[in-house]
């Protein structure tokens, strides 16, 4: 009888402990790590910038922008969205893209270039898809729907 009581006590304690562990789990930064942390993301954004310049579907829109600011802010945004320790401090997405009249073709072109930018740095396909998934909720703001 005593043995059964002890076993039940141990099982309850085990369940309680594993519950506490999941309660205090660190936030999931696995995507951030797969992207190569902030330095890796900064490199991906640099690749993206070159692709944007060469892409006639979208390069007109980007003429005259502050490249350094864009690079810093997009890097921080992707870092934060992937679970990294960054804080996006750029302009609000809807307001920023409002007057641009961005089309679906242009939105898709940017996503396509981002995928190519990640491929250049050998980011695994699953990680690429995870990042794109994080960006999709921004679609209505960027398209101004």
Which part of the chain contacts ligand HEM (CB under 6 A), choosing from 11-19, 41-49, 55-63, 123-131? 55-63
Query: What does the radius of gyration of the chain's CA atoms come to, in whole angstroms?
Result: 22
Stretch of residues binding ligand HEM (CB under 6 A), selected from 15-23, 29-37, 71-79, 115-123: 71-79
How many residues make up the chain in this entry? Answer: 145
Q: Which of 52, 47, 55, 51 is nearest to 121 (CA)?
A: 47
For residues 51 and 115, the answer to whether their CB atoms sit within 8 Å is no
134 binds ligand HEM (CB under 6 A): no
Q: Is 69 in the site for ligand HEM (CB under 6 A)?
A: yes
Position 96 contacts ligand HEM (CB under 6 A): yes
Examine residue 107 and tell whether it contacts ligand HEM (CB under 6 A): yes
Planar angle of CA 98, 43, 137, nearest 5 degrees = 35
Nearest to 84 by CA among 25, 16, 15, 27: 27
- Which residue ranges make up the site for ligand HEM (CB under 6 A)? 58, 61-62, 65-66, 69-70, 73-74, 77, 90-91, 96-97, 100, 102, 106-107, 110-111, 135, 138, 142
């Amino acid at each position: 009888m005593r043995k059964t009581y002890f076993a039940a006590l141990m099982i309850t304690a085990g369940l309680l402990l594993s519950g506490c562990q999941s309660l205090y789990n660190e936030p999931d930064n696995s995507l951030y790590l797969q992207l190569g942390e902030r330095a890796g993301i900064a490199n991906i954004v640099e690749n993206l910038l070159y692709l944007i310049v060469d892409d006639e579907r979208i390069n007109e829109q980007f003429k005259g922008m502050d490249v350094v600011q864009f690079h810093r802010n997009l890097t921080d945004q992707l870092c934060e969205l992937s679970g990294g320790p960054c804080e996006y401090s750029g302009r609000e997405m809807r307001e920023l893209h409002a007057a641009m009249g961005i089309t679906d073709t242009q939105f898709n072109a940017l996503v396509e270039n981002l995928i190519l930018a990640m491929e250049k740095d050998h980011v695994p396909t699953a990680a690429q898809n995870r990042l794109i998934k994080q960006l999709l909720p921004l679609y209505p703001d960027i398209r101004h729907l």
